[in-house]
Every structure is written in structure tokens, then in C-alpha cells.
A = this chain, B = another copy of it.
């Protein structure tokens, strides 16, 4: 090939794109990563990282302010919101600079600009100032991610997006969060913990509609006890400015007023700009599940939120890894292997109590007519829970009644996001309950809760009363 050429051009530097870029560069391919804004994507710059930073701060505050029964007393913590926001930017900046170093060290060339496919094996990079140049490449990975969905029921600007909701100029006195998915419950808990009066509205009859229902119910009860006003089955029909704030009206006739409204109503794909790119993406989508579209000598692939709209960062990372594997095969042998769907992707919410789960839910098993055995452990019975004064929590294991294979693990309680790796290994490897119990878990640790739930699934609970099993 003549002129500037690359083995792979990756368009979009979020978790799916940067992961694939690093991997391919490690395999010694020549990789160009085109990112219109900052590497790290939504997750690092406007999503998971800033939200987890704020949530960490809220956790520390909560723990310190409730330490008195232990004999440790703190005066109420003072929050300097401007400092908080500066610190969040520092965290983002330091992680981004780390990621840039990793990309550079791997040999990925990162270029700031808008990338678009213009022809077979050719992309165009436009920098901010309208300057364009063309680049040739053997393969193109589209990974332009997603953007927050805009609610249909509100005039422009009145309802903040979930991204904007992380960077409020000041702490509001009252807040309405529309949407009780992961992002919504995190925002609601975060601000409630910082002293804001919060109302959380969810269209469906329960929070976290994708989670196991028992987990949702326990979270709901805990949120209400923590003073969050939760309104379920509440479809918002109108949002209006009033003289002293913003009014949210629901289908059932309810009216809620707050000074700030955040809409956490999901995300939608952020397709590339030009017609050729869009057409290529359409071809890739039509060829699902292969995720590849061969255009003459060039392979076009897509990964991450661009394909689904709303995913998780870890799901996108797993896809980035798999996409890189496929592209590597294609670059080597001219053929791409079938796309291997990653193991079940865990869901999570970093509120308090935390939520994490992976694999089949009880409702899904019921709908599929699968015979399952359920083992439950209420974390309040455990040493760590008594020590930390935490009562709200449930770990639930679902196993195939015949084979004993672990099909799903669903958890709500302190630190359960840290335990999800263990749950993921158990589920993704198709281990049985008895195999899962061979592992010795540290006493006293939160991870014992998974062991206890596994024992309960065998009908032999150890550190808990017999709750029955089905």
C-alpha cells in the first residue's frame, strides 16, 4: 500500500475501542485510534469513574457519621462541593493520563479528531478546525459508544442528563431522579447521602428492572429506610418549570417538585457521522452475530455501546478483547473466526447497599420453565455485617436442580461489587454448587456469604438459619 496506512483504525477511544487498540498493538499490528474528545470514553470522563468517586466520598461520610455506637465520634463532615468537583477532575485526569501512557507504551497512535469511513479501507480524520486527511487501513473498528437518551416529556434543558447530573455546580436542596436503573439508583443514593432530599421515579413496578426481583425489593426497602422517596410504576408525562423549581407529573396524576431534575432514562447508540460509516455499521449489524462486514479487502467491525445503546463498561471491555482476537485472526489469516459471546456480563449498582449479579434470574428461570434450586443467605447473620452494623443484604444462588450447576448469583449488600468476580467465575465456568464449596473462604469476610448461599442451596446452611429452599 502507498501513503499513510495502518493495519487497524479504531474509531472511538472508550472501553471497547481502547481495549481492542491496546490488544492489537500488543500483537504488533499498526494501530491508529481516532478519538474526537478524550480517551476513556463515557466511562472514564462522564460515567463510571466520576460517579464512583462521588459515591466513595458519600460512603466515607456515611461510615464516619454512623460510627458513634462503636465508640468513635466525628462531628458532621463538611462537604466543599467545589473541592469535591476539582478532586473528581483530578481522579479523571490521573486515570486518563495513565491510560494515555498505556496506549503509547503499547504502540497505539492516538489522534484527536472525528473519524469516518469514506471508502473501502479508507477513513478520514477531521481535526477540530475542519482540517481533513485520509488514511488507509486493512481493518476498521467502529466503537463510537452511546449518548444519554433525551426524555420526550420535557422541554430542552430542563431535565439534566445522567452525565450532567454528576457535575452539578452546587448541591441542590431537593432532587428528582427519573429512572430507577443502575445509573438512577446510584445518583439518587449519592445525593441523598449528601443531605439532598431525593425523589426517585421508576416507570416499572420495581427498581433495577434487570436485576433479580428479590434483590430489587430489598434495595427498595433499604432506600426508603434511608429516606429516599421511591415512586414505582410512575411514568412521567410532563416536566414543567414553576416559580420555585421544577414540577414533574406522572401518568397516575402524581406531582413532585424539586429544584433539580435528572433523567437517567437510558442511553442510545452514538453512530458515526457520515453516510458511508452509517451504511457500514448497518452491514455489520445485519451480519450479527458475526459483527464483521467484509468490504472488499477491508474488514469493518463494531463493538460496545454503539451496537446496543446501553451497556456496561466491563461488557464493552470484554467485547474489545474479543473483537481484537477476531481482528488479529483476520489480519493474520484473512479469515475471521466466529464471534464468541463473552460470559454473562454482571449487572451492578454502586449505591448502598451495593447490587451485583450475574447469570439467570429467578424470574427468567421460571419463565423458561427451568427447574432450579435457590440458596439464600441474609448477610445480617454474618460477622462482617454485625461488625459494620449493616443489616440490609441478601446473597442468592440459583442452581440447576438436576445437575447442580450454578446458573446465577444475585447479591445486594455491602461490598458485593467486589464479590462479583467470584460470582462471575462460578457462573462462567459452569461450576456446580459442590465444586463452588470446595474453595475455602476467609473467616470473617464478606465472601463467606457466597459460600453460605451455596450451602443453603444444598439444604445445609451453616452460619444461618434454614430459610427453606425450592
Contact = CB atoms under 8 A, between A and B. Distances in A.
A355 to B, nearest CB: 11
Nearest to A447: B421
Given A22-B462, A87-B69, A91-B386, A425 B422 contact: yes
Contacts of A70: 53, 56-57, 60, 83-84, 87
Interface stretch (A31-39, A122-130, A232-240, A436-444): A436-444
A388 B56 contact: yes
A463 to B, nearest CB: 7
Interface string A414-457: 01011111101111110100011011111111111011000000
B77 A64 contact: yes
A420 B444 contact: no
Interface string A25-67: 0100000000000000001000011001100110011011001
Interface in A347-403: 348, 356, 358, 381, 383-384, 386-388
A343 interface: yes
Contacts of A23: 460, 462
A83 B71 CA distance: 5
Contact of A95 (B48, B99, B383): B383
Interface stretch (A139-147, A296-304, A313-321): A313-321
Given A70-B87, A346-B442, A447 B418 contact: yes
The listed residue with most B CB atoms (<10 A of its CB), out of A70, A81, A417, A424, is A70
B383 A440 contact: no
B314 A441 contact: yes
Nearest to A345: B440
A60 B57 contact: no
A60 B64 contact: yes
Contacts of A81: 71
Contact of A439 (B321, B425, B445, B450): B425
A208 to B, nearest CB: 15
A329 interface: no
A82 interface: yes
A101 interface: yes
A77 B71 contact: no
A440 B343 contact: yes
Given A87-B69, A440-B314, A386 B94 contact: yes
Contacts of A346: 440-442
Contacts of A57: 67, 70-72
Nearest to A435: B429
A98 interface: yes
A460 B52 contact: no
A2 interface: no
Given A64-B74, A78-B72, A443 B26 contact: no
A79 interface: yes
A411 B23 CA distance: 25
A406 to B, nearest CB: 11
Contacts of A386: 91, 94-95, 98
Nearest to A315: B440
A15 interface: yes
A323 interface: no
Contact of A84 (B53, B71, B317, B318): B71
Contact of A465 (B74, B102, B315, B344): B102
A342 interface: yes
A313 B82 CA distance: 47
A48 B318 contact: no
A234 B94 CA distance: 41
10 contacts: A43-B443, A49-B383, A71-B79, A74-B78, A101-B465, A342-B438, A345-B440, A358-B440, A420-B445, A421-B450
List the 10 closest pairs (A to B, CB-CB), nearest first. Answer: A421-B447, A71-B83, A71-B84, A424-B439, A64-B64, A422-B422, A314-B443, A313-B443, A425-B439, A428-B439
Given A343-B438, A428-B438, 17 more contacts: A49-B383, A57-B72, A61-B67, A61-B72, A67-B77, A71-B79, A72-B79, A74-B77, A105-B466, A314-B440, A318-B440, A348-B445, A415-B415, A418-B419, A425-B426, A427-B439, A429-B431
